[in-house]
Amino acid sequence: MILMEKHKKLKILHLLSQRPDSTGSGFYVQAMLRESLLCNHENFLVAGIQSDQTADLDCISEDRCEFVRFSDADVSCKIPGMSDVMPYESSRFNNLSSDEINLYLKLFTEKLKKAVTIFKPDIIHSHHLWIVTSLAKQMFPNIPIITTCHGTDLRQFRNCPNLHEIVLKGCRKLDAVMALYQTQKKDIINLYNLPADKIFVVGAGFNEQFFTLTPKPDPDPVQLVYAGKLSNAKGVPWLLRALTTIDFPSWRLHLVGSGSGEERNYCLELANNLGKRVVIHGAVSQKDLAEIMKQSHVLVLPSFYEGLPLVLLEGLACGCRIVTTNLPGVSEILEGIHADFISLVKTPRLNIDIPYNEDEDLFEKNLAYALKTQISASFQNQGIDISVIRDKIASYSWTGVFNKVQKIYYNVFKRYNNL
């Protein structure tokens, strides 16, 4: 039997069905590209993009990419988003016709065939337990495929029963699935009927070079930051309404992120009603987000649905107090941390990912109370004792995450090649 070298160079085809430079899954793909390059692996990327735009990537050259281009003559629909509201113009899977789904599959089939012919990958690392991952496994049964679940795929699975057959046909044959946290692993087992020994909890990371601790500014006003999509599912309208009840201590909210459609417009309308107390930044780079967080006292995440919210790690690494809903992914990150600079707000009962009408007022009041608590604490003392969370933060480096991912690459590759 031939023993495989411990650090054998692999040819890895990375697969994402949407833009690789937006949302958490896009940043995850970029991190995998960077870390695998540092480990001397060779990379190729297949992803979705708008026909009139380019991808903002510094981790892979354009000649190592194949893009399915949406909103053009070949496919007129906008990129179907894994979230119903994306930071760019998108369509929803549950609104696509059968003809549009077939065209979607046809276009990804063409790009995948081309990429595999050109690159001849040893392994495929796909993202989301969803349609394109299923397609890839059916197309290439002899290439090991490993998939990262990001949580939004599980939500789509629950909301689109008409697509279950397409999704399960290939996803049940995957060689390994990587979950972000333990509760998510259980959901994957239950929804996809996958064996537990094929699912590995590897987590996610943040850029520890950008997000670092620096002295905080004078807390008059107290600086708050929200970073994410401007959408209902992220809780942004409830956040903005809750802030209208707080006059003292004085505060300023940095609203970072973009969105689309009526939900974005409503968020911006509420923000504009608060006048100069809200600074609207739009979409920013990771480096610019880190600078905003370094100058902020409180990070707010009022979301109703998250995978593993890396923005919490980024905020903690920058010394921010935290106000967040008590979601499973949040609990995973904050497990074992008992600190007065973290306020958890109970998530209301949800109709999909929007609160029931009768629960909205209580949620808004609870959110306002948590905000008032951390704003007042920041006004008294702008810094926090980061020593109690230093070990937790260190465990979420991208290098540490990729070390776990790479072990799975090697184990699956050895199994396929009888090494």
Q: What is the DSSP string of 69-107?
A: EESSSS--SPPEESSSS-SSS-EEGGG--HHHHHHHHHH
Structure tokens at 246: 């707080």
Is residue 210, in this structure, part of any structural domain at all? no
Distance CA 394, CA 332 (A): 15
Is residue 235 located within the same domain as residue 301? yes
Is residue 240 located within the same domain as residue 197? no
Is residue 37 located within the same domain as residue 166? yes
The pLDDT value recorded for residue 3 is: 43
Is residue 62 located within the same domain as residue 167? yes
Query: For the whole model, what pTM was predicted?
Result: 0.83
The pLDDT value recorded for residue 383 is: 86
Is residue 242 located within the same domain as residue 105? no
Mean pLDDT by 10 residues, the chain (419 residues): 61 96 88 96 95 85 93 75 81 90 94 97 98 98 97 93 96 97 94 96 90 93 96 95 96 93 94 97 92 98 87 93 93 84 93 84 97 96 86 85 95 87
The pLDDT value recorded for residue 189 is: 97
Is residue 114, in this structure, part of any structural domain at all? yes
Is residue 22 located within the same domain as residue 88? yes
- Host domain of residue 323: 222-394
CATH of the domain at 301: 3.40.50.2000
Number of domains in the chain: 2
Is residue 184, in this structure, part of any structural domain at all? yes
Is residue 251 located within the same domain as residue 178? no
The pLDDT value recorded for residue 2 is: 39
Is residue 181 located within the same domain as residue 250? no
Is residue 55 located within the same domain as residue 143? yes
Is residue 100 located within the same domain as residue 121? yes
Is residue 300 located within the same domain as residue 238? yes
Is residue 5, in this structure, part of any structural domain at all? no
| Cβ–Cβ < 8 Å for 177, 147 | yes
User: SS3 letters for 188-221?
Assistant: HHHHHCCCHHHEEECCCCECCCCCCCCCCCCCCC
Q: How many C-beta atoms surround the C-beta of residue 335 within 10 A?
A: 10
Is residue 228 located within the same domain as residue 169? no
Is residue 19, in this structure, part of any structural domain at all? yes
Is residue 366, in this structure, part of any structural domain at all? yes
